[in-house]
Amino acid sequence: MPISHDDPGHTSGIALKRLPLRKAAVLFIVVVCLSLCGLLYLQLEQSRRHDLAVAEVASSNLTRAMAQQAEDTFMKADLVLTSLADWIQVDGFAHVQIPRLQKTFARRVQALSQLHGIFLFDQKGQWVVTSFEDLPRGPGVADRDYFLFHQQNVSSLAHIGPAVRSRVNGEWIIPVSKRVNDKDGHFQGVLLAGIKMSYFDQFFKSFSIDDDGSMFLALTDGTLLARRPFVESQIGQSLAKGAIFSKYLTGAMSGNAMIGSVLDGTVRLHGYRQLDAYPVVVSAASSRDSILKGWYDTALKSSVIVALVVLGVGLFGWVFVRQVRLGERVEKDLRKAKEALKLIATHDSLTGLANRRLFEQALAIEFGRGARQSSSLSLIMLDIDYFKRYNDAYGHVAGDHCLAEVARAVKSCCHRTADLAVRYGGEEFAVLLPDTDVHGALVIAEQIRRSVMAKNISHSGAPSGFVTVSLGCYAFVPTRLDSTEVFIGRADAALYQAKHSGRNRSAVLSMDGGVGELMRSDR
């Protein structure tokens, strides 16, 4: 800056000559600085818009390729299921048909690399035939979302459900299923094709995106099916609150948007597209920092050059660095918050009983103890009779109250500290009884059944007019070769027999697999 001289030794004429020169110098410096800053701004802004425009085109092309591949994948599975469903509807799936169906399923899976397997379940969710040689054991799939969907909907269209772990080998799959009807159009079961999660993972890896970029496949309700980078805990999470689902998809089935991720907070340029034939959304995204990385380099170099002429550009650099540091601090806080999440609780919030997680832990411990001490271990499986009718008649609030009352009845019959009452799922409960033989389990089961009846909970949809339960009992001395799944399955088989025989009764599964039952009519 020019320095003012108040020197009385100078004449007024000299002062008048120097004053305009100083002002001209200041004006020149200001004009030069403003011009350089203006030119720098125009050049950088134009470059930034160009980089973003190129990135939007690339993102749109990538999303279009993803959508085409995803639609082809689901369509191939859909076509396979359609042909098999038509065949099964005509010929049925009687026992004589099963070998032929198994071979056909296996050939179709071999022909399509994306398929994990093809499965057929009957109207009760039990395994009928699969593309695997050995038929899986277990309680079936009556609790799966896709089975419940087809059981309750007459649509013959393919249904794509949330990703699940296969009960055959634990692999993550995306279920594509179709309803199977008999010749009269009545529900006979579900045909399922499981698409490997790893197939989409490999497909995503075939595209080149930056380290902070992402790609995902989700249902139109926001349920995440597959994502790159793959984080197992994120599968099944809802993206419905994200801007893509809550804002952009409502206006257009495809497009681009610069938004922050609801999963990790990173700001990315998302290209998104909803499939034409299926309720699925695909998205490919590059991080904003990666898109503008080259632009950042140019801006820095240009700023350094301009900084040689005007020190004011240093302020811009300082603000920029300060903003970056602020962003890093926010990201660090988000990581800490994520690491601070706690494990899920071990008890059901509605009934106060133990949940499945605690049940599985206790069952493993009691299996080991029973094997060491050669002591009998019993399991009672029970559920509320006609509970769906109860919900339909009285509403879900009353249904929750009913569950809580039944839970109290169950818990009141567990007198020992080691006895464990569990809400197994929905309206189904379980009671684990260490050091108890089958006769003792049957006594406890009858106590529970009578305790529930004693509550006199009105149920207009039940033949008795009030809420009752059906119970299945199984007991044995575990060894190290026994399976907890088989143990649960046998108790569940006894429960099924109790319900099949008329409900409101207790049934026992003997060691040889036969079922004995006690009929009860004290209503």
DSSP letter at 442? Answer: H
CA distance 288 to 291: 5
* 3-state DSSP percent of the chain in helix, strand and coil, to 5: 45, 20, 30
The answer to whether 235 touches 225, Cβ cutoff 8 Å, is yes
User: What is the C-alpha separation between 338 and 329, in angstroms, rounded?
Assistant: 14
Give me the catalytic one of 56, 71, 366, 427.
427
Q: Scanning the structure block, which residue is given the tokens 């039990």? A: 126
Distance between CA atoms of residues 23 and 29, nearest Å: 10
Q: How would you label 1-35 residue by residue, b for 16+ Cβ within 10 Å and e otherwise?
A: eeeeeeeeeeeeeeeeeeeeeeeeeeeeeeeebee
- Nearest alpha carbon to residue 509 among 487, 480, 483: 487
Specify the DSSP element, H or E, that contains 152: helix 145-152
b/e code 376-414 from CB counts within 10 Å (16+ = b): bbbbbbbbbbbbeebbeebeeeebeebbeebbbbbbebb
Q: For tokens 């994502």, what's the residue? A: 227
Closest by CA to 194, choosing from 228, 169, 215, is 169
What is the C-alpha separation between 485 and 275, in angstroms, rounded?
39
User: Could you confirm whether 427 is annotated as catalytic?
Assistant: yes
Reported as type and span, the H/E element at residue 428 is: strand 428-434
Would you give the end-to-end CA distance of the chain in angstroms? 102
Catalytic (active-site) positions: 427
